[in-house]
Amino acid sequence: MENAFLGKQPILDRNQNLIAYELLFRAARDNNQAEVSDGFHASANVVVNAYGYLGIQQVLGNLRGFININHELLLDDAVLLLPGKHVVLELLETIPATSEVVQRCAELREMGYHLALDDVTCIDDRTELLLPFVNVIKVDVLALTDAEISQLVQKLKAWPVILLAEKVDSPERARICMDLGFEMFQGYFFAKPVVISGSKIESSSLSLLRLLSLVMRDAEIDEIERLFKHEPDLSYSLLRVVNSVAVALPQKIGSIRQAVIAMGYRPLRRWIQLLLYAADPAGKLTNTNALMQTAAIRGRLMELIAAIDRPHDKNYQDRAFMTGIMSLLDTLFNMDIQQIVNKLEMPDEVIRALLHREGRLGCKLKLIEARENKDIEQVESAMAGLEFLDQTSLAKVELDALDWANHIH
């Protein structure tokens, strides 16, 4: 069994009372430096470890946690899984102030989230665009002279924000920041980050994708519960996160069924996506949102075509959905499709479709791939084997599948 690691650095008020922690990505207990090659992977790890493995009450107690948020996570619905009462979303300096980002910050602020701007050293165009939506400005005092800190503070006082001095490394610099009116303090002079750890049971990406496919197509709760029962690692993670996030519930959640109902399908989908990102050390998934979207569309389109083929056979439609979802896993995980099939217990007709594009499901998958590639000859060939389907019906279900996929995020 592996360990989950998390760094946390105290944030103090003017009386040196502990009021918050910044939660930091750490790969090992003796690693007190962040070695981050991919921002989304690091942020996802912090969230998953804090909420899913270590337990947010054990990590923070009744204090707030500052969590670094990169550009992708800011715009991803997974960030909404974090309860506003626990966290301050710390916007990394690499986030550009695009109109999309500004709108997202406005939405998050409206939802009750607290936002912080990280590593501020000046008021530039980007800072000015984001300032109306943030609660806390973290000034990197290590990068500035005393005079520059003073000038920056004077300018920032025009905004209703809390000033936090970060990277305070000496008593002299601490005193200057105190005199200038900073309200919050963080840095090696006060306290270095400590690394905490707990048991971590790794979920395989394939198990997560099986679960994601069930949740995305609104499968019956019995089916979702059954998968969880075969995946004790996922069950543990789910119960920890629901009991951490749903602190307002009158009683603790003690069963998978209760947890799924309490969380709801959409937040559950966000959690699974975060687990996928956290389980992906190479950061491949951060660049494959489009691929996952294509897989989702394929799944839904396969299901809709199967419903025309066998309108009363729900099990067949479910197998068609699974075939579409799984058909891009080899590209997504850079694995041979045979390896993936060997690890997943699937019906023979699904396996034949995935490996050889054979059978009724294989013919449907060939049609969808030909449409994606705009290969008219292959489309006509595949259509000839699906006598129940005409071009008008195909065009309609394609639109339905696109509409569905646009509403699952």
Residues 44 and 192 in one domain: yes
Residues 211 and 331 in one domain: no
Task: Kindly give, in sequence order, each residue whose CB lies less than 8 Å from that of residue 404, ignoring residues fewer than 6 positions away.
Answer: 300
Is the pLDDT score of 400 beyond 80? yes
Residues 170 and 305 in one domain: no
Residues 256 and 326 in one domain: no
> Domain boundary at 257, 282, 307, which?
282
- pLDDT-derived band at 1 (thresholds 50, 70, 90) equals very low
- pLDDT-derived band at 36 (thresholds 50, 70, 90) equals very low
What pLDDT, in 10s, does the model give residues 328-346?
877 776 678 887 777 666 7
**Count of the separate structural domains present in the chain:** 3
Residues 327 and 391 in one domain: yes
Residues 249 and 385 in one domain: no
What pLDDT, in 10s, does the model give residues 103-139?
999 999 999 999 999 999 999 999 999 999 999 999 9
- Euclidean distance between the first and the last CA atom of the chain, given in angstroms as a whole number: 33
Residues 38 and 164 in one domain: yes
15-17-18 Cα angle (round to 5) = 150
Residues 317 and 340 in one domain: yes
Is the pLDDT score of 89 beyond 90? yes
- Domain housing 321: 288-409
Residues 177 and 214 in one domain: no
Is the pLDDT score of 263 beyond 60? yes
- pLDDT-derived band at 99 (thresholds 50, 70, 90) equals very high
What pLDDT, in 10s, does the model give residues 187-241?
998 888 888 776 555 556 677 777 877 887 788 888 888 888 777 677 777 877 7
Residues 152 and 218 in one domain: no
**Higher-pLDDT residue of 251, 58:** 58
Q: What is the pLDDT of residue 53?
A: 64
Q: What is the rounded average pLDDT of the residues 284-313?
A: 79
Q: Which residues of 104-117 are buried (b: 16+ CB within 10 A; e: fewer)?
A: bbeebbeeebbbbb
